[in-house]
Amino acid sequence: MSWKRVKWTEAAQVAALLDEDADLGEDARATPKDYFGKLRDNGQLNEATFFLGQALPRFETVAWAARTVRDLRETPLKPGPDADALKATLLWVQDPSDTRRRAAFDAANKIKAASAERLVALAAFFSGGSITPADVPPVQAPKEAAGRFSAGAVLLAAIATQDMNGALNKALDAGSAMADQGVGAA
């Protein structure tokens, strides 16, 4: 199965988004899917998570992270700012309008501590469109921001489980399927 939704052709292109000084050596020309597989085979699940977060298109990376944050939860999310941020992000995935993107940002800003829900809402906000208020000249988000926030959200969601590695592998499987088939895969 190839990664049909991934626009990058070489692992070095993705790695450059993670670290400008990345030198993958002989792996630089590997396909993103093959390099991702090597990271997983070597037990480098954190690195694989950040790599996938950058390899996926922005919309797909946010959808992957939002669904992962929702699906890895072992206890119900209590009503409050975290639940509101996750809901705002999932609504944005259903309808990626600028209004919903900004609603996710507003919900993220009501959370005081780092949480998977806060990071995934920030990923939605930084996925495209201006990051300045609507009434001032537009400024685009850094191209790697959505992927970094998404990967961070996935890692925080996995850490909160009883089996972090099992949770990460489940998330990485879902993300890899999304890299091939798009949002409908997960």
Q: Would you list the domain boundaries of the chain?
A: 58-162
Task: Report the mean per-residue pLDDT for the chain.
Answer: 93
Model pLDDT, residue 182: 79
Q: What is the pTM of this model?
A: 0.93
Q: Is residue 185 pLDDT above 70, yes or no?
A: no
Structure tokens at 22: 């990345």
Kindly report, residue by residue over 129-148, the tens digit of the pLDDT: 989 988 899 999 999 999 99
State how far the Cα of 51 lies from the Cα of 155, in Å rounded to an integer.
Answer: 12
Higher-scoring residue by pLDDT: 66, 136 = 66
> Residue 32, SS3?
helix
Longest dimension (CA), the chain: 49
Helices 98-108, 81-94: inter-axial angle, 10-degree rounding: 160
Q: Are 40 and 172 in contact (CB under 8 A)?
A: yes
């489940």: which residue's tokens? 170
Query: 4-47: per-residue pLDDT in tens?
Result: 999 999 999 999 888 766 778 888 899 999 999 999 999 999 99
